[in-house]
Amino acid sequence: MNAAVPRPPIYLGDNRAIAFLESGEPIAIDTAGPDSLKYSLGHVIEGDIFPLFRRLLRHDSVVLDIGAHYGHYTLRAAPYVLPAGQIFCFEGNPHTFGCLERSLWANQLETNPRVHAYNVLVHDRPGRAAIHYRAWRLERASMWELGPGDSEQLSAEVATAALDDLLPADLAVDVVKMDIQGSEPYALCGMQKILARSPDIKIITEFFTRHLDSSFGAMNYQALIAQLGLSMWRIDAGGTLTLIDPATPLTGDANCLLARRLDLSGLDSRDIIIEPRKLSLKRAYAGPADPILRDGRIVYDASRHAGVEEDVLFYGPYINLEPGKFELSFSASIHGEFRVEVTEHFGEPIAQFTLDGTSAPARFTLRSPAQKFEIVLSRTANSKMIDLASIRLRKM
């Protein structure tokens, strides 16, 4: 028998490898179904929905991915919300959950303390229930029968959980993606405490009437949304939003955004805002005697630190970036000149420029994914003072 020929990895989304291959052979494709190939080969998935999901994310967002499947939304969110935020992903089908675990492992997220994966059916109460699925199309898994007399339908018994019981009692949630084949209303019923302590929560939910009418009822779901004090927008082509009157039945297949309030002007998909407290200070500037991090700002004064030999003031924040053109700007008061380097993989240079009181935003291009992206700020012989409030990284 000939030895297996090594093959290149299959990539998930736009920047990182997924563990489909072991010893040169597929390990997940046979049970994954056709849509797994779309995920793994980087094809566009839910092209009208994901751009809106991305615009809702901030660098410290708490995200729930309910019905995570292979982890497409979890992995795409990670570069934007880690290390400051948190991601909780839930997949009820135990077979698909194994694939989700492999995705997290391949993307260095399996042991990340801010990423939490649960093999449970998100519902309105704890217990156990059956999930029904077809081995060749795992994305259609549901608590509700897929079709009478379906000879290809398989079932597995899985734990159910209400998110109010499962998640920390003080956790406020920012963004939810929910696609659980008709169980969405029950998930909302089981997270009312979370809703109460999350005033700015935004929920992207599947609204497929054929699924909902097999479970809770589509009109009942609309009524529940209104009772919970949430408004409802249908997500249309290009991620545009149309406000839905709760008294008007929403028919057919749609995806919707639920929120108490929505400032469309504030939904800028390009910005990652980095606060000073998310950066790492060099030890010489972090000591108790005269630290440069004060009240959430980095304040360096050459007259106070004249005896310090270390030139690097701070570095970080260790995030992953997809390829593209970026603009970097500092919200700061600056006297003199400082040196800024942008690097990846613990110090591999991407670009370098000088920062002073008149500097325009700096631009650089990533031709391949950058992991462990850092911004390193160093003093020069002409550095006098910097008072830094935040750094903005913008995708052009």
Report residue 306 CA to chain centroid gap: 42
Residue 1 binned pLDDT confidence (cut-offs 50, 70, 90): very low
Checking if the pLDDT of 372 tops 60, the result is: yes
pLDDT class of 26 with cuts at 50, 70, 90: very low
Phi-psi bin for 297: left (phi > 0), alpha (psi -120 to 50), beta?
A: beta
Q: Is the pLDDT of residue 202 over 70?
A: yes
Mean pLDDT of the chain: 82
User: Residue 297's beta-bridge partner residues?
Assistant: 294
Measure the CA–CA gap between 355 and 279, rounded to whole angstroms.
18
Asked whether the predicted pLDDT for residue 102 surpasses 90, the reply is no
pLDDT tens digits, one per residue of 174-190: 999 999 988 999 999 99
Q: Domains in the chain and their CATH numbers?
A: 10-266 (3.40.50.150), 271-395 (2.60.120.380)
3-state DSSP of 261-280? CCCHHHCCCCEEEECHHHCE
How confident is the model over 304-361, as pLDDT tens digits? 888 889 999 999 887 777 778 899 999 999 999 999 999 988 889 999 999 998 888 9
pLDDT of amino acid 82? 79
User: What radius of gyration do the chain's Cα atoms show?
Assistant: 24
Residue-wise pLDDT tens digits, 237-272: 877 889 999 889 998 889 999 999 887 655 555 667
Residue 332 bridge partners (DSSP):
388
Question: Quick one: pLDDT at residue 264?
Answer: 63
Is the pLDDT assigned to residue 198 strictly greater than 90?
yes
Confidence at residue 25, expressed as pLDDT on a 0 to 100 scale: 35
Q: Hunting for tokens 């736009």 — which residue is that?
A: 14
